[in-house]
Amino acid sequence: MPNEDKLKAGHKKTEAGKRLSKMMINDYMRLHQKAGEGAFVVWIAIVVPAELFSGFENVVYGVPESHAAMSAGKGVGPLQCEKAERLGYSMDLCSYARIDLGTAFDGGKDSPTFGLPKPHLLISDNNNCSLLVKWFDVYHRTWDVPHFILDIPFCYEQQTARDLNYISSQYRDLIRTIETLSGQKFNIDRVREALEHTKGALTNWKRFLKTAASRPAGLTVFDSFVQMAPFLTSRGTKALAEHYRLLADETEENVAKGIFPVPNEKYRLLWDNIAPWHQLNKMSSRLAALNANLIAASYTYCMGSLEGEFDLYPYDGGDPLTYLARIQNFSICPHGLELRYQAMQRAIETLGIDGVIFASNRSCKVYSLMQMDMLKRVTERLGIPSVMIDVDHADIRKYSEESVFTRIEALLEVIDAKRGAQTPR
Amino acid sequence: MKNINNDMKDNKAKGRKVIGCFPLYPPLELFHSLGLVPVTLWGLKDSIPTTGKSDRHLQPYACSVARHLTEFLLSENGAALDGLFMYNACDTLRNLPEIINCGLADTGRSLPIFKIHLPMAPREQTESRAYLRARIKMLINELEEAYQVTFSIEKFRQSVSLYREMRKLCKALETLVANGRMSYNEFSRIIRDGWFVPAEDQLLALQKILQDRPLSKREHVPSAVQSRIVVSGILPPPLHMIQAFENAGLTFVGNDIASQNRALFYTPAMVDDPADYYVDFYNHHYPCTTLLYTADRRVAAIRELILSTRAQGVVFIGEKFCEFEYFEIPHLEKILKDMGVPTLFLEVSIDDNDYSEAYVTRIETFAELIGSANQGGRYAE
């Protein structure tokens, strides 16, 4: 089969991909509908444990970061950013924030989801990114909506018992706050049930990611980027657990049948940072044409894991607030360099990574400002060729495709040279 | 401009143990009471003009505060430090300890780094006092162990008194500036120099200045100087920019600068427990964009500052890439506009010395705006 045909076969939209689109549409429609019917609406940062809201009869949540990523993916990122910039918000601010501010202050116009319904409560946290607290403060001040800040200590080492207790006590404060504001009673058993769904979802998420270990890999990181979305909007639901089960099943079946997204995979790469949402199609096509496959990302393998780890940390049926507090730091940004390195080393060794792309992301300093030392460490300690490229996760105006690919092609040459040096003459 | 590198060498030569503190608001009295010399690593740009070493570890979109701080620590001058202290002041600074460790390791050096998490949730929302108390006590234990010293409440009280007096005198200098008896340039230089010397030396220097230019009682009420402005930001404007303001006839009657008024504003009453002291210190700290829990008090504080100083304009000095500041500026500008107070936003970046002339026209135009308002009386409170 000619290479082009194989690529087309590999990139055919999967059943999981089709289901994902429906699921996301349904999530946003349900959110708007329930809000219209009087549900209590909260806006949350992506790492706020959304399972808590299952404990209430009628609380729904929107995730501005997720909405901003979707907007960037659908090509309206710059349009919304410019609206925020016209209101005085600097172009140096995070592009998610600018997209969100632009969307919200223009009443949801130009948004693929008509924006988000206005909130009754804002819930931010400062472990994933503390500037998000400032971003939510803009709405807090403008709309006079209460703002609850989860204060989560940064992790230079694994979470301590003291920090865990501090976090779970804040969950109790949050529950009381929602009870007071919404007039609804909280039921912890519902959260327990939601956590069982989350456990199912994350177990299958890890199974899905594990298909990257096959050669060629059963997925591209672009699949995992887009498939993250419902974890943010449907966390703790049966529908999500079922979706990830089907996703893992389908991907494993494809591997068994010999269907691979990059059939002539020659280079197995790892991505470090948030997805470049405006480049998913272009970047995956260009990489595939080079027989290069991004098979893993720190951005996606952290889901369901503790700090510095790669494997799943499942819910054990115990106290829901204790589990949620323990897993609160699951994303990469709250981790120090040592922890990030530990997890990346596991990923590199487990998946047989040939090279690492460190995407230096102007819009996410908290993710990016360790990468120069991470790159050095990965290259020197693990002997894995690495490169740094400049991206912005949601603002295409700050991205240069050609300079990025010049660097990626150079990385592939270094990998070739390393292989040549290792091949016995 | 005094060279801070000489101060650092002087500290070392005198056998002092020096602890470098990341900006912004470290527990200075505590370090001092343990016999350490705390130096707050603000405004290093004038002494560390390049960032070659830092650039190997930090991308160019890190703020100049972080880049100069890293450069200082990795340079020979940083070797004069015996330890570092930091807390979660912002996303950039919280990433720095391990980056600095990597940089130091490259040069075969290491430094003990003491870290605490300062609770950032609003106090009316989350009871975090016990958490902060525990962190302060742990810090004391770590310092005692690292430097083989013993905490003494008596010494702590003395240190608190010293810093209280020092802050009081700094505020007195602010009054001189507001009354046109000291330039803001000179004030900024004096405050900045004080960050790198022992508190006792700074106190002596302040006392001498105030002996030469004593404050009269009536100076504590706003004077009648014209073209009165308040400046807001993380660091004061670069000295050449201040000069441009003062040349344009503008007087700095107050500041909302993190390294000046925000840092100097509040000293708690003495208590018997240093942990309680710092709970009070941080809870009642002057509002700052970096202290997330103070957000609801910030607008009121700015308004109060403008009214009490009868300022006619506000200048925002944007430290490029400081998101905490940049998220608040549009909101503050709108509120000030509603109050009839004109604003000017100037962005300061790592290479601003190269482009200083570009600011002059904007500053002069702003001065004209305020001057014409004076004539028309438009901006009276």
B336-369 burial, b at 16+ Cβ within 10 Å, e below that, comes to beeeebbbbbbbbbbebeeeeeebbeebbebbeb
3-class SS at B257? Answer: strand
Question: Which CATH number does the domain housing residue A312 bear?
Answer: 3.40.50.11900
Determine, yes or no, domain membership for B265. no
| pLDDT at residue B381, as a whole number | 40
The answer, yes or no, to whether residue B355 has pLDDT greater than 60, is no
Q: C-alpha distances in angstroms, A167 versus A150, A290, A329, B87, B137?
A: 8, 46, 11, 18, 20
Q: Is residue B119 part of a domain?
A: yes
CA angle centred on A250, ends A249 and A251, rounded to 5°: 95
Q: In Å, how far from its chain's centre is CA A342? A: 19
Range of the structural domain that residue B114 is part of: 4-152
Same domain, yes or no: A140 and A228? no
Contact A88, A232 (CB under 8 A): no
ipTM value of the model?
0.94
Answer yes or no: is B50 within a domain. Answer: yes
Minimal Cα–Cα distance from A32 to chain B, Å? 28
**Assigned domain for B282 exists:** no
What's the number of domains chain B is made of?
Answer: 1
Distance from CA of B243 to the nearest CA of A (A): 26
Backbone angles phi, psi at B110, to 5 degrees: -150, 160
A129/B91 touch (CB, cutoff 8 Å), yes or no: yes
pLDDT per position as a tens digit, A255-314: 999 999 999 999 999 999 999 999 999 999 999 999 999 999 999 999 999 999 999 999
pLDDT in tens, A317-326: 999 999 999 9
User: Within chain B, what is the greatest distance between any pair of CA atoms?
Assistant: 65
Q: Quick check: A134 and B327 CB within 8 A? A: yes
More confident residue, A3 or B371: B371
DSSP codes joined into one string, A240-260: HHHHHHHHHHHHHHHHHHT--
Same domain, A246 and A384: yes
**A226 and A160 in a common domain:** no
In a domain, B69, yes or no: yes
More confident residue, B286 or B48: B286
| pLDDT recorded at residue B98 | 95
Q: Is B127 helix (H, G, I), strand (E, B) or coil?
A: coil
Instruction: Say yes or no to pLDDT of A7 above 50.
Output: no
Question: Looking at A187, A218, A237, which one is the last position of a domain?
Answer: A187
Q: What are phi and psi of B265, to 5 degrees?
A: -65, -40
SS (H, E, C) B179-209: CCCCCHHHHHHHHHHHCCCCHHHHHHHHHHH
**What residues of B are in contact with residue A150 (Cβ under 8 Å)?**
121
Q: Which of B172, B215, B163, B220 is CA-nearest to residue B194? A: B163
* pLDDT tens column, A135-147: 999 999 999 999 9
B323–A93: do the CB atoms touch at under 8 Å?
yes
Has residue B93 been placed in a domain?
Answer: yes
For residue A108, which amino acid is it? Answer: G
Query: Once rounded to an integer, what is the mean pLDDT over residues B323-330?
Result: 96
Strand runs labelled E in chain B: 17-21, 36-40, 83-87, 113-116, 228-233, 251-257, 313-319, 343-348
The pLDDT value given to residue A372: 98
- CA dist B195 and B192 (Å) reads 6
Give yes or no for residue A364 having a pLDDT over 70. yes
Please check whether residue B66 lies inside any domain of the structure.
yes
Report pLDDT for B380: 40
pLDDT of residue B318: 94
Question: Above 50 in pLDDT, residue B180?
Answer: yes
* A272-276, A390-394, B166-170, B221-225: range with lowest mean pLDDT: B221-225
Residue B375 lies in a domain: no
Q: Is residue A25 located within the same domain as residue A147? A: yes
**A177 to chain B: which residues are within 8 Å by CB?**
125
| Residue burial B247-256, b: 16+ Cβ < 10 Å; e: rest | ebebbbbbbb
- Taking 50 as the threshold, does the pLDDT of residue A3 lie above it? no
Pair A124, A149 in one domain: yes
Of all residues in chain B, the one with the smallest CA distance to A156 is B98
| Separation of alpha carbons B201 and B158, rounded Å | 15
A9 confidence band (pLDDT: 50, 70, 90) = very low
d(CA B117, CA A152): 9
Answer whether B282 touches A (CB < 8 Å). no
- Please check whether residues A178 and A301 belong to one and the same domain: no
Q: What would the mean pLDDT of B325-341 be, rounded to a whole number?
A: 95
A377 plus A394 within the same structural domain: yes
Among the listed ranges A84-98, B322-336, B360-374, which one has the minimum average pLDDT value? B360-374
Q: Return the SS3 of B3.
A: coil
Cα separation, B325 vs B142, whole angstroms: 33
Final residue in a domain of this structure, among A144, A168, A187: A187
Domain range for A345: 3-9+190-422
Return the pLDDT at A8. Answer: 45
Task: Give yes or no: residues A278 and A178 share one domain.
Answer: no
How far is the C-alpha of A278 from the C-alpha of A77, rounded, in Å?
Answer: 8
In this structure, the strands spanning A386-391 and A355-361 are parallel
- Which among A139, A168, A187 is the end of a domain? A187
A62 and A150 fall within a common domain: yes
Instruction: Count how many pairs of residues, chain A against chain B, have C-beta atoms within 8 Å.
Output: 136
Is it the case that residue B361 has pLDDT exceeding 70?
yes
Confidence of residue A62 (pLDDT cuts 50, 70, 90): very high
Share of chain A above pLDDT 90, in %: 95
Residues 133-192 of A with CB under 8 A from B: 133-135, 137-138, 140-142, 148-151, 153-154, 156, 162-163, 166, 169-170, 173, 177
Interval A29-56 mean pLDDT? 98
* Pairing of β A386-391 and β A40-44: unpaired
Please report, for the domain that includes residue B83, its CATH number.
Answer: 3.40.50.11890
- CB contacts, 8 Å: A166 with chain B: 128, 131
Residues 6+ positions from B326 with CB-CB distance below 8 Å: A89, A90, A92, A93, B318
- Mention every residue, 6+ apart, whose C-beta is less than 8 A from residue A34: A58, A60
* Position A11 pLDDT exceeds 90: no
CB B196 within 8 A of CB B164: no
Q: Shortest CA distance to A128 belongs to which of A333, A290, A298, A285? A: A333
- Is B65's Cβ below 8 Å from some Cβ in A? no
Taking an 8 Å cut-off on Cβ atoms, the answer to whether B59 and A369 are in contact is yes
Q: What is the number of helices (H) and of strands (E) in chain A?
A: 18, 8
CA distances in angstroms from A222 to A66, A198, A288, B343, listed in the order given: 16, 22, 12, 45
Q: How confident is the model at residue A6 (pLDDT cuts 50, 70, 90)?
A: very low
pLDDT in tens, A106-131: 999 999 999 999 999 999 999 999 99
Q: By the CB < 8 Å criterion, does B57 face chain A?
A: yes
Res. A4: pLDDT tops 90: no
Are residue A157 and residue A247 in the same domain, yes or no? Answer: no
Mean pLDDT, range A213-217, rounded to an integer: 98
What residues of chain B lie within 8 A of the CB of A162, using their CB?
131, 134
Mean pLDDT is lowest, of A11-25, A77-91, A129-143, B257-271, for A11-25
B368 touches chain A (CB under 8 A): no
**What is the total residue count of chain A?**
425
The domain that holds A27 is classified in CATH as 3.40.50.11890
How far is Cα A411 from Cα A424, in angstroms, rounded to an integer?
22
pLDDT higher than threshold 90 for residue B9: no
Q: Are residues A207 and A136 in the same domain?
A: no
Q: Output the average pLDDT for chain A.
A: 95
Is the pLDDT score of B202 beyond 90?
Answer: yes
Q: Are residues A41 and A121 located together in one domain of the fold? A: yes
Residues 6+ apart with CB under 8 A from B267: B160, B163, B164, B167, B281
